[in-house]
Amino acid sequence: MILENETKLNFNDVLIVPKRSTLKSRSEINLFRSFKFRWSPNIWEGVPIMASNMDTVGTFEMAKKLRNYFMPTVVHKHYDIKEWKGKGDIDPNFLIPSLGAQDEDLLKFKEINKLYSKNPLPFLCIDVANGYGEYLADYIARVRNEFPHTILIAGNVVTREMTEQLILSGADIVKVGIGSGSACSTTDITGVGYPQFSAIIECADGAHGLGGHIISDGGCRKVGDIAKAFGAGADFVMLGGMLAGHDESGGELIKKDYKSFKKFYGMSSEVANDKYNGGLKEYRASEGKVLEVPYKGPVEDTIREILGGIRSTCTYIGAKNIKEMPKRATFIKVNSHNYQ
């Protein structure tokens, strides 16, 4: 048994300190970033805030709208090839397929790629709930060998050493987050997890030392949390719950007491297993929550609030763009019980 004594932090345990700034207006802030990668020769440019690959968030409809803001969508893995056909009107630079780590997943990616032969998809997200199995690193190496130009995203992990392992195996970007998602109950069920703010700091440090990048996946419940994730060193931030409940989101629309809601659930929940896996297997426990999110209408209003909030953070700390945020951000620890 090993006990680490250092306290790890979540987003609500810290605040960003304002600093003297020469910036006069939010309009001066550039939210675009240009990325080069360790393995893929591709260069990607855009706003590094993305929709999660949950079937109630990562939809083709969401991808069409987020593309207008130069933001990518990681499309959920349960669309079949027939549903992928006819989606050529979505810019592939902002459309990221997600798949598991099985042979059939690789075959499916090959089929999806054929649909985009004239304008190839630059990304692939290899997504498993537990990124600590040796099989994932082996699978990443296999995919890297077969698709040397593809920008590979893989995860999820929460520690420096496994972030480094996935990058050395062939991942360009590592997805960081276990137990922090608003619809995730992994920590409640298993006792496993890692506070997201500390996970970002440690995993980003490991990734950047190897020429890799990370996505902060989970834990953002407010716009300020996205700013904190960037300030902590995240290259990309993935959103689930914050993008749920919109017209473009999946999920059933429910009306109760003259109010409207949309169903939002974790992809390891019993609902998701019933929908896609023929039910929850006897040897498994549900590690996802089922929530009813207030209906929010079109996603554009939420996106504008998010982008406006990030610009405002930048003006408070004197960062001209997202890339400068870690250099300009100073954090203080606060009593999270008093900070709402």
Catalytically active residues are 184, 186
Instruction: Dihedral sign for Cα 316, 322, 328, 333, please.
Output: positive
Rounded to whole angstroms, the Cα distance separating 320 from 312 reads: 11
Cβ partners under 8 Å of residue 329, min gap 6? 16, 230, 231, 232, 317, 319
Rounded to whole angstroms, the Cα distance separating 226 from 94 reads: 19
Residue type, 169: S
Give phi and psi for 74, each to the nearest 5: -90, 105
**Nearest Cα residue to 154 out of 285, 324, 39:** 39
DSSP string, 273-314: HHHHSSS--TT----B-EEEEEP-B-HHHHHHHHHHHHHHHH
Instruction: Dihedral sign for Cα 136, 139, 140, 141, please.
Output: positive
Residue 247's Cβ-count burial label (10 Å; 0-12, 13-18, 19+) is middle
Angle at 98 between CA 92 and CA 100, to 5 degrees: 150
Rounded to whole angstroms, the Cα distance separating 101 from 42 reads: 23
**Nearest Cα residue to 195 out of 152, 150, 236, 228:** 228
Residue type, 145: N
